[in-house]
Amino acid sequence: MLARSLSIIGLLSVISLRSVSAVDYSETYLGCVTGTGTSGALASPSVNTISDCNYACADAGYTYAYFQYQSAGSYCSCKNDGPLSSEITPAVSGSTNCGSAAASVNALATDYYFNNCYNTISANDVTSSTTFEQCFETCTTYTDAFLKVSGNAYLCVCSNTASTGTTQTCGNTGTYFAYAHTATSSPSIIERRRRKLEKMKRDEQLRLNRFCPGGLQACVIPGSDDSFECIDTSSELESFGGCLYGSYTNSTASAGVDCSIIPGAAFGGATCSNGRCEISACREGFQLVDGRCQ
């Protein structure tokens, strides 16, 4: 196995100082999220602003940035999935103040800008959407897009009239997140936007693969969150099918299985083959029945 250590704080310190190449990205506020802001996050006092987090995530090829500020240190979590409607929580106050208990989420690959949150809007076209991304795409030919949490989905409203309602605390029941952009009916502009989003996702995938040689995954070393080892998870007995203690570069990757500790299996009696753990011998007192020790 290859082993290598990388300082997360050192990496993000470099990013926060803008010493890396700038990338073309946007900062479109989507709301406050609890519970997932620090999932898979990189903790670093060097990334202590939303802007720094947005830049770091965009430069790494991600399309969403989750930033949570806490007195003990900031958290910047980069993802390719925006918040679900069930994750949206009211802002502490106003539009974008998420406080220290929730993460502020920004989309990094849209041409929309956030206007505010309102209680009433003017609607031209109403539909249901599961993501912000779907709503923004639906409203491409309109000047305004509005989203409201509606159960397990978003109510997406496209309009050519900006809201004249009363501003509200974002995330409260019944409030609409309001966005505007330059409406276009040009297929070429829509296609350029689509290619830009796909490029960011491809760049992110390249980033995930750059830590280890081809065919190997960067897996977290237990007890050392800033270190990893390169593992062939297609054949590694103790991390079969994925990283046993988590992927170093992808917090949402499937966890692996330790084939060496299957209940009842004899020492050395298990191997990795055909996409699963296969048992060839059982401990005393167990019998091998249909591939299992019983």
Report pLDDT digits (tens) over 170-199: 998 889 999 999 887 545 555 665 666 666
Q: Is the pLDDT of residue 146 over 90?
A: yes
Q: Say if CB 63 and CB 201 are below 8 A apart.
A: yes
- Choice between 145 and 22, residue whose per-residue pLDDT is larger: 145
pLDDT of residue 13: 31
Per-residue pLDDT tens digits for 203-221: 655 555 566 776 787 787 7
> Which of 66-70, 132-136, 219-223 holds the top average pLDDT?
132-136
Q: In which residue are the tokens 């000047």 written?
A: 143
Whether 92 has a pLDDT exceeding 70, the answer reads yes
Q: Which residue has the higher pLDDT, 44 or 69?
A: 69
More confident residue, 254 or 153: 153
Residue scoring higher pLDDT (249 or 159): 159
Q: What is the mean pLDDT of residues 11-36?
A: 59
Query: Where do the structural domains in the chain lie, given as residue ranges?
Result: 2-204, 217-293
Report the alpha-carbon distance of residue 235 to residue 107 in Å, rounded. Answer: 38
Q: Residue 147 pLDDT more than 70?
A: yes
Residue pair 8/77 in contact (Cβ under 8 Å)? The answer is no
- In the chain, pLDDT over 90 holds for what percent of residues? 13
Residue 107 banded pLDDT, cuts 50, 70, 90: very high
> Does the predicted model carry a pTM greater than 0.95?
no
What gap in Å lies between CA 60 and CA 132, rounded to an integer?
Answer: 21
Residue among 102, 97, 27, 35 nearest 65 (CA): 27
36-48 confidence digits (pLDDT tens)? 445 555 555 467 7
Q: Tell me: the pLDDT tens digits for 51-60?
A: 888 888 887 7
Mean pLDDT score of the chain: 76
pLDDT band at 7 (very low <50, low <70, confident <90, very high): very low
- pLDDT at position 283: 85
- Mapping DSSP to helix (H, G, I), strand (E, B) and coil, where does residue 282 land? strand
Averaged pLDDT, 243-252: 72
Distance CA 51, CA 274 (A): 46
Q: Which of 129-138, 221-230, 239-248 has the highest mean pLDDT?
A: 129-138
